Amino acid sequence: MSTTTPGQPPRVDPAELMADPYTVYGRLREAGPVHRITGTDGLPAWLVTRYDDVRQAIADPRLSLDKRNGTPGGYHGFSLPPALDANLLNMDPPDHTRIRRLVSQAFTPRRIALLREPIRSTADALLDAIAPHGHADLIASYAAPLPITVICDLLGVLPHDRQDFRSWTDTLVAPDPTRPERAKGAVRSILAFFTQLVADKRAAPADDLLSAMIAVRDDDDRLSEDELMSLAFLILFAGYENTVHLIGNATLALLSHPDQLGALRADPGLLSGAVEEVARHDGPMPLAVRRFPVEDITIGGVRIPAGATVLLSLAAAHRDPHRFTDPDRLDIGRDATGHLALGHGIHYCLGAPLARMETEIALAALLERFPDLALDLPPDGPRRRPSMRSRGLLELPVRF
């Protein structure tokens, strides 16, 4: 990624950005509030780095999520067919408002609370499976299967279909630039999967969220067919992708900071705050979803033209010393209120209460089961997914 700003912008090494986004984005934040950049994919964008600007921009109605408001040649996000692309991450009001209102019925506090016991039972069963071995990769055996089980149960996806979806998601989020056909194949597989799933649910409705969404589509015509498919895809994709990384990052953070782990073991009441602090300190998304100004707009004193791609750096905002004291330090006792890892305003994540609860349950069950849990990393440290837009672990070796 290269930058152009008044004066001398710091040089950005793409490999360093992947390995340590906080140091790179920190240098950019100190150099200026907004930078014109060329991303690692070679596409131009404007990068916003400071907390106050990022928070305001997330909720600014002049910054559209609709790709049709972006000029050609900029970064527009995943390239998906219409049947998967008509989702909340690409919509503005009034369509965004209409669809969000419909799906919010699935994420009421009461419905989320009913999932607590099933989530804990799933977590215990996964830990039962790894307990006899004395070591495990916590991503493959715990952090990934827990949220995929929860969200698939919610939607009504059968167990034998879940492993394939995990593979497709991993390929889509971190595509191999030397093998572009793999990402295209993953998109085709996902589209075929949801086409068949919706057909099956239409033929045999069940007591699950997808059946309820199909009923809304077919009876009241409040969703188009593309919106139905895209919404199902987004719920499954986001419900898995963000939570697995939050659980993985939280576990790594605690095991890498013995003082914080000791404080949590001594006072389990700190667990909720610990999840919020990890979401701030090392959340699953270094960047918010790209946006496109519908008119010329000024952010941080920098004028950005209509239609340009705007990237909001959550990684930079969450380490902004003007918002968080000693921001590079993990402190599970701090008040991390105001972090933006789960969105803000009308774009606040609908599944945030579920993601929080899953992460809290996952950490509590793990730490209770294995009081001597320790990292078992290779000499070169943890292996992360090669992506500037997703901050996740490929594996997390531990021993106990």
Per-residue pLDDT of the chain (400 residues; tens, 9 = 90+): 555 554 445 567 777 887 789 999 999 999 999 999 887 667 789 999 999 999 999 999 999 999 999 998 777 777 788 888 888 999 999 999 998 888 887 778 888 888 999 999 999 999 999 999 999 999 999 999 999 999 888 888 888 777 777 778 777 766 666 777 888 888 888 889 889 989 999 999 988 888 888 887 776 667 888 888 898 888 888 888 899 999 999 999 999 999 999 999 999 999 999 999 999 999 999 999 999 999 999 999 999 999 999 999 999 999 999 999 999 999 999 999 999 999 999 999 989 999 999 999 999 999 999 999 999 999 988 988 877 788 999 999 999 9
Residue 7: the pLDDT is: 47
Angle made by CA atoms 248, 250, 253, in degrees to the nearest 5: 110
Range of the domain at 363: 2-399
Whichever domain contains 6, its CATH number is 1.10.630.10
Answer for the pair 264, 330: CB distance below 8 angstroms, yes or no. Answer: no
Residue 239: the pLDDT is: 86
Residue 84: the pLDDT is: 86
C-alpha 258/C-alpha 366 separation (Å) is 16
Structural tokens at position 312: 């909001």
105 by DSSP, 3-state: which?
helix
Structural tokens at position 116: 């607590």
Residue 269: the pLDDT is: 96
Residue 154: the pLDDT is: 87
C-alpha 384/C-alpha 366 separation (Å) is 21
Rounded to the nearest angstrom, the gap between the alpha carbon of residue 110 and the centroid of all alpha carbons in its chain is 24
Residue 319: the pLDDT is: 98
Answer for the pair 76, 39: CB distance below 8 angstroms, yes or no. Answer: no
Residue 362: the pLDDT is: 98
Task: Tell me how many domains the chain contains.
Answer: 1
Residue 342: the pLDDT is: 94
C-alpha 74/C-alpha 346 separation (Å) is 25
Q: Where are the alpha helices (DSSP H) in 76-179?
A: 82-85, 95-103, 109-114, 116-130, 138, 145-155, 162-173
How many other CB atoms are found less than 10 A from the CB of residue 284?
A: 23
Rounded to the nearest angstrom, the gap between the alpha carbon of residue 396 and the centroid of all alpha carbons in its chain is 18
What is the reported pTM? 0.91
Place of tokens 């059968």: 158
Eight-class DSSP state of 141: I
Residue 3: the pLDDT is: 53
Residue 11: the pLDDT is: 64
Residue 166: the pLDDT is: 75
Answer for the pair 353, 56: CB distance below 8 angstroms, yes or no. Answer: no
Answer for the pair 288, 26: CB distance below 8 angstroms, yes or no. Answer: no
Of 108, 151, 138, the C-alpha closest to 362 is 138
